[in-house]
Amino acid sequence: MNDPTKKDGIGSAIVVSAPLVVIVAALLVLLIGPGAGAALAQDTIGGWDTRNGIPLSEPATNDSATSPDETLTTDPASADPSSEPTDNMTADDSSEDMFGEAGGDPGGLEGMVLDWFKTIMGFVYDSTVGDLIKKVAEALQAGILGLPAPSGEVASIYEGMVGAMRPVILVGILVTALLMMLRTSNYDIAYAGFSALPRFIGLGIAFAFLPQFMEILSKMTLDVSDAFLPSSDRAAIAGAELFKSAVTNMLGAGFLNIILAIAFTLVGFGVVLVAVLKNILFQLLFIAGPFALASSVIPGVNHLAASWFRAVLACAAIPVLWSLELGIGSVIVSSPEAIFGDMVDVLGAWSDGIFTSVGAILVLYVMYKTPFKVLEWAFESYDSSRGAWRGLARGVAVGLATGGIRSGARALAGAATGGAGGAAAGAASRAGASNSAAQGAAIGAGTSRAGLGQGKTIRQITGQRRFSAPAGETGAARSPRSSPSGGPQPELGGGGGQQRALPAASPEIERKYLKQEGTTPGFGKPRRDRQGYIKGAKVRGDR
């Protein structure tokens, strides 16, 4: 498209249809020429650029009425001198127009029509792609690096939620009083009675000061992201430079640039979208705060409070991480040679500064993925890498496949040894001894997450495991599944016994131990029964 013969081809075509062109041009010039030209130049090209400090096109080249001094009214901070290398690659340079054609007035009617053609195309560009880019840039500058403090209607909703959930404190205090009155010897109830009162007081304090906490968190997020982004004007510099350099570089020539422009626009909108979703999530978490805080004192659901708090922290961490990524992005677009070296212009005329553009796209893609990864940490079991339906289908398929294979293997083993029931009964009798060391280790290992932990358990149950136990010990509660393959751990006792191979366990044993493996994630007191198992294991191991 940079071929200068293109211009000649258009000119010859116009000369061939000279009478028609003359009539049309005369009408345009006489009737709507001056007014429309001034309007287009003033309202579209250069106007927004000056306001936002992102000179996508040079006002002086499109608007003769604009004095050169007006370009100097742009904020000096946005006129980052580091952007100078990218200016050389922009399509709206003074020597080239946005279509990559050489400048210079050919003169006469041909030149006039060509100027009009370029003006109209510029207007079309600014009304479509330019407007799109402007909106994305404004969204970047509008504060994706911030975290809006809850206020107004959201605060009113929060007050209503607190009013609904606050009596939980009184319910809890009354239940605690009843428990203390019973003075039971049950460890769990006694523990709850002793530890509950401070928790209820803390819950009341949390209800009272959660709005202030959220406000402080928002301010801290702004301050930290401001400190991390290496610029005084934050997104106004980094975001603007990203869009200015990366996008205008793409508009020069080549099909590859069109693809890059589309990818850049898509990823940019993705970033804006997740930024909005992040703000919505933060407000939702604030409103749901009373429920989450109340769940922290209810046994069995207190892990919800932990997830809620991690999600709040994640909302605060996202802008901070974005500020870091935008800082890297601003370096990529302002001085790409610092990262890419001489590769920046490796494709030359095909794509000016392709590494700058690709780098900007990658930075935006990382920004797009960041919230999902942070929220994955917050909600733990939430996996952003695949959809819920896909995960469900995969789980069902894997479960069916492994179940079928296991059933087939068990049937074969039963046929070989004279019946699967006999084999399972033998496993139960041999494994059912009183090796509490193995049981304690099994419970310790059972604290892993459900999917992985159960998978391991199934393999451990059905696999050929070896364990050692004191000779002659046969009981009713030994677990065979979690003994280490090389025998039990020395500190858990039972070492030095004979090694025996275990056949596949029966479905009853599988169900029994899978049921025992149920865990309660989140905050909670240490379970005395687990400690008891471990302690008993140590005692038996010492014997």
Partner 1 sequence: MIEAVHASLSNAPIPIVILQVGGYGPWGTVINILRGLLIAAGGLGLVLGMAVKGAAAGSADRQELGNRLMEGAIVGLFVGLLGEAIYNLIVGWTS
What is the contact surface with partner 1 in residues (CB under 8 A)? 162-164, 166-171, 173-178, 180-183, 197, 200-201, 204-205, 207-208
155 vs 328, which CB is nearer to partner 1? 155
* Residue placing its CB nearer to partner 1 in the complex, 127 or 186: 186
Six-digit token pair at 367? 């920004």
The DSSP result for 244-278, as a single string, is: HHHHHHHTSS-HHHHHHHHHHHHHHHHHHHHHHHH
Please state the three-class secondary structure of 455-505 as a single string. Answer: HHHHHHHHCCCEEEECCCCCCCCCCCCCCCCCCCCHHHCCCCCEEEECCCC
Closest to partner 1 by CB, 123 vs 207, is: 207
Shortest gap between Cβ of 175 and partner 1 (angstroms)? 6
Q: Are 383 and 376 in contact (CB under 8 A)?
A: yes
171 Cβ contact partners less than 8 Å away, ≥ 6 residues apart: none
Q: How far is the CB of 307 from partner 1 (least distance, A)?
A: 23
Nearest distance, CB of residue 374 and partner 1, angstroms: 30
| Least distance from partner 1 to the Cβ atom of residue 376, Å | 33
Distances from the Cα of 296 to the Cα of 157, 173, 302, 420, angstroms: 21, 14, 4, 47
Assign 102 to helix, strand or coil.
strand
In the bound state with partner 1, the residue whose beta carbon lies nearer, of 13 and 182, is 182
Nearer Cβ to partner 1 (179/423): 179
123: Cβ–Cβ under 8 A, 6 or more apart, which residues?
A: 40, 44, 45
How far is it, in rounded angstroms, from Cα 15 to Cα 437?
Answer: 98
- Asked whether the CA dihedral 462, 468, 471, 477 is positive or negative, the reply is negative
Name the residue nearer to partner 1 (CB basis): 124 or 164.
Answer: 164
Task: Quote the Cα angle for 482-485-488, to 5°.
Answer: 65
Q: Decide: helix, strand or coil at residue 96.
A: strand
What is the smallest separation between the CB atom of 168 and partner 1, expressed in angstroms? 7
Q: Look at the chain and count its residues.
A: 543
Instruction: Output the smallest distance, CB 311 to partner 1, in A.
Output: 22
Nearer to partner 1, 191 or 379 (CB): 191
161 versus 363: smaller Cβ distance to partner 1? 161
CB of 198 or CB of 418, closer to partner 1: 198
Q: How far is the CB of 219 from partner 1 (least distance, A)?
A: 22
Question: Nearest distance from residue 205's CB to partner 1, in Å?
Answer: 7
Measured from the CB of residue 185, what is the shortest distance to partner 1 in angstroms?
A: 11
Q: Which is nearer to partner 1, 28 or 175 (CB)?
A: 175
Distance in Å, CB of 200 to partner 1, minimum: 8
Burial (CB < 10 A; 0-12, 13-18, 19+), residue 82, is: middle
SS3 annotation, 127-182: HHHHHHHHHHHHHHHCCCCCCCCCCCHHHHHHHHHHHHHCHHHHHHHHHHHHHHHH
The whole-angstrom separation of Cα 104 and Cα 95 is 8
Only one residue has tokens 């865990």, namely 519
* Residues 368-373: contacts with CB under 8 Å, at least 24 apart: 368/267, 368/270, 368/271, 368/274, 370/318, 370/321, 370/322, 370/325, 371/274, 371/277, 371/278, 371/314, 371/318, 372/274
Least CB distance from residue 197 to partner 1, whole Å?
Answer: 7
Q: Which is nearer to partner 1, 162 or 442 (CB)?
A: 162
Cα 33 to the center of its chain, rounded Å: 51
